[in-house]
Amino acid sequence: MLKKIMIANRGEIAVRIIRTCRRLGIRTVAVFSEADRDAMHVRLADEAYCIGPARTDLSYLNIPNLLSVAQATRCDGIHPGYGFLSENPSFAEISQKCGFTFIGPSHRAIERMGQKSVARDIMARSGVPILPGSPGSLEDADEAIAVAKRIGFPVLIKASAGGGGRGMRLAENEATFKNLFLTARGEAQSAFGDGRVYIEKFLRSPRHIEIQVFGDTHGNAIALGERECSIQRRHQKLVEEAPSPALEESTRVKMIETAIKAVHAIEYVNAGTIEFLLDTDGSYYFMEMNTRLQVEHPVTELVWGIDMVELQLRIASGEPIPYTQASLKPHGWSIECRINAEDARTGFSPCPGRITQFIPAGGPWVRVDSAAFANYMVSPTYDSMIAKLIVWAPTRAEALGRMRVALGDFTIEGITTTIPFHSFIMNHPEFKKGQFSTLFVEQHLDEFLAMLPPIKNPSQKENSHTNGQAMEKVHAARAATSS
């Protein structure tokens, strides 16, 4: 087993990783930027070192400084968390070459899955269904038009090196295609330094379903079921749950089989997520593979009863996965709300500032993964996510009820958060029925905005409990008038 690891990350995920390490007796080394001197991960780790100024390129992305800390502190492993360098193949490769165990997949797997069009080709060859699209990246606009016509509009133009929606354009018809193609290429070039794009069929009302997988160095692979991540805004997930209310058992079995086959085919090691789009007719298509621990991993942990960071550490230490697929069984329902320091009224713009009061929700089967606390300064330099609120219950209805109460209990003062928006979602009749697609936020945001008071002073208390109750009344009234 690894003895001492450096966590090349910050925020809640660094804290999350440190907690498992402490339980397993693994010593931890935190790194931090000058902006994070008082951060929680710095306090919880056994040792902590400043690696640069607030700017991420000079600190959390500064490979020489990170590796210098790992070396000077005699770490034997490096956990990259998510974001930052977690899916940077060079970082994984250099870490290994310098003698550190990279707690994640091989750099080759990261590299291949990071090139979205390469990943798609590999998956197609392993028998994973993929969306009809261009065979590889497209250089020429005329060639691209021909491919788009063959697939049939609407088509999505996506950056080969992309993610997070950048370099992505939806072309509804041939007339607008060329301009959008060129814009996407330009955006991809400036965002990722790689202007290659590819196109694929666009599904009008898909659901985002992802399968959690693990592979080990002994050739074993397991899949911990699916996560439903359709509640998103501009490709940023807001709410995740496990299992998915939309998945037929037969589809689930097929997706798990497909995912395990893919893990074997690419000889994948450690935690990974295979993202699929689920069409209204039950067919599903490979979207991409994330070669890291995901933000939303807790919902899988609660349903499957597995500490996924522990499993990552064991696999990285060379141990075989201690379970067989047949021995694993999911239990109940779990939902996660990502609570961001953002204001829904201003297009979810970040609301950095000082948290004056922080009282997390609690109670049985309520979990809060956060690195925030009272007097914590939410820096505009980093991600606006300040907490993940996760609940578990035997059924979806009970989990929803538990989440509604937990959102009402969660007090964050001093900054504006997305807690009221989550209350709105949890009370929405379509969400309650499990009838939603990736378009949910876009389709229902105006309903939420309409029931809010005018913009108030951000220092005022976020009273989500009251908001939640008000929303329930509005939904009930609307349901009554429409029936």
Among 67, 145, 287, 403, binds another protein (CB under 8 A): 67
* CB of 440 vs another protein, minimal distance in Å: 24
Residue found under tokens 């699209």: 133
| Contact flag: residue 163 with another protein (CB under 8 A) | no
Stretch that binds another protein, among 318-326, 371-379, 394-402, 464-472 (CB under 8 A): 371-379
- For residue 292, indicate whether it is catalytic: yes
Neighbour-count burial of 236, counting CB atoms closer than 10 A to its CB (0-12 exposed, 13-18 middle, 19+ buried): middle
| Contact flag: residue 351 with another protein (CB under 8 A) | yes
| Contact flag: residue 349 with another protein (CB under 8 A) | yes
* CB of 36 vs another protein, minimal distance in Å: 10
**Total binding residues toward another protein, as defined by CB under 8 A:** 33
* CB of 327 vs another protein, minimal distance in Å: 42
Q: Give helix then strand counts, H and E, for the chain.
A: 16, 22
Stretch that binds another protein, among 196-204, 241-249, 312-320, 342-350 (CB under 8 A): 342-350
| Contact flag: residue 220 with another protein (CB under 8 A) | no
Among 40, 42, 51, 122, binds another protein (CB under 8 A): 51
Q: Whole-angstrom Cα distance, residue 89 to residue 107?
A: 5
* CB of 361 vs another protein, minimal distance in Å: 25
* CB of 66 vs another protein, minimal distance in Å: 8
Q: Which two tokens stand for residue 277?
A: 């789009």
φ/ψ (deg, to 5) at 405: -65, -45
Q: Whole-angstrom Cα distance, residue 34 to residue 31?
A: 10
| Contact flag: residue 331 with another protein (CB under 8 A) | no
| Contact flag: residue 72 with another protein (CB under 8 A) | yes
Does the bond joining 243 to the residue before it have cis omega, within 30 degrees of 0?
A: yes
Among 353, 430, 452, 469, binds another protein (CB under 8 A): 353
Among 23, 43, 71, 176, binds another protein (CB under 8 A): 71
CA 59 to chain centre: 22
Query: In this structure, is the dihedral angle defined by the CA atoms of residues 399, 401, 402 and 406, taken in order, positive or negative?
Result: positive
Among 234, 331, 354, 478, binds another protein (CB under 8 A): 354
| Contact flag: residue 52 with another protein (CB under 8 A) | yes
Exactly one of 292, 338, 367, 396 is catalytic; name it.
Answer: 292
| Contact flag: residue 6 with another protein (CB under 8 A) | no
| Contact flag: residue 380 with another protein (CB under 8 A) | yes
Neighbour-count burial of 390, counting CB atoms closer than 10 A to its CB (0-12 exposed, 13-18 middle, 19+ buried): buried
Helix pair 464-482, 396-409: axis angle to 10 deg = 140
> How many residues are listed for the chain in this entry?
483
| Contact flag: residue 5 with another protein (CB under 8 A) | no
* CB of 42 vs another protein, minimal distance in Å: 11
Q: Whole-angstrom Cα distance, residue 141 to residue 179?
A: 9
Report the site for another protein in 430-459 (rule: CB under 8 A): 458
Q: Whole-angstrom Cα distance, residue 360 to residue 421?
A: 17
- Ranges assigned E (strand) in 333-432: 333-340, 342-343, 349-350, 353-354, 357-359, 366-370, 377-378, 385-393, 411-413
| Contact flag: residue 53 with another protein (CB under 8 A) | yes
Between 211 and 351, CB nearer to another protein: 351
Report the site for another protein in 381-440 (rule: CB under 8 A): 381
φ/ψ (deg, to 5) at 15: -60, -45
Among 129, 305, 352, 401, binds another protein (CB under 8 A): 352
Q: Whole-angstrom Cα distance, residue 152 to residue 70?
A: 51
| Contact flag: residue 377 with another protein (CB under 8 A) | yes
| Contact flag: residue 96 with another protein (CB under 8 A) | no
| Contact flag: residue 69 with another protein (CB under 8 A) | yes
> Do the Cβ atoms of 95 and 102 come closer than 8 Å?
yes
Stretch that binds another protein, among 49-57, 239-247, 289-297, 359-367 (CB under 8 A): 49-57
Stretch that binds another protein, among 68-76, 122-130, 155-163, 213-221 (CB under 8 A): 68-76
* CB of 71 vs another protein, minimal distance in Å: 5
φ/ψ (deg, to 5) at 176: -90, -5
Between 69 and 295, CB nearer to another protein: 69
Does the bond joining 380 to the residue before it have cis omega, within 30 degrees of 0?
A: no
Angle, CA 109 vertex, CA 103 and CA 114 arms, to 5°:
105
Amino acid at 312: Q
What 8-state DSSP symbol labels residue 133? Answer: B
Give the residues lining the site for another protein (CB under 8 A).
Answer: 34-35, 49-55, 59, 64-65, 67-73, 98, 346, 349-354, 377-381, 458
Q: Which residues are catalytic?
A: 292
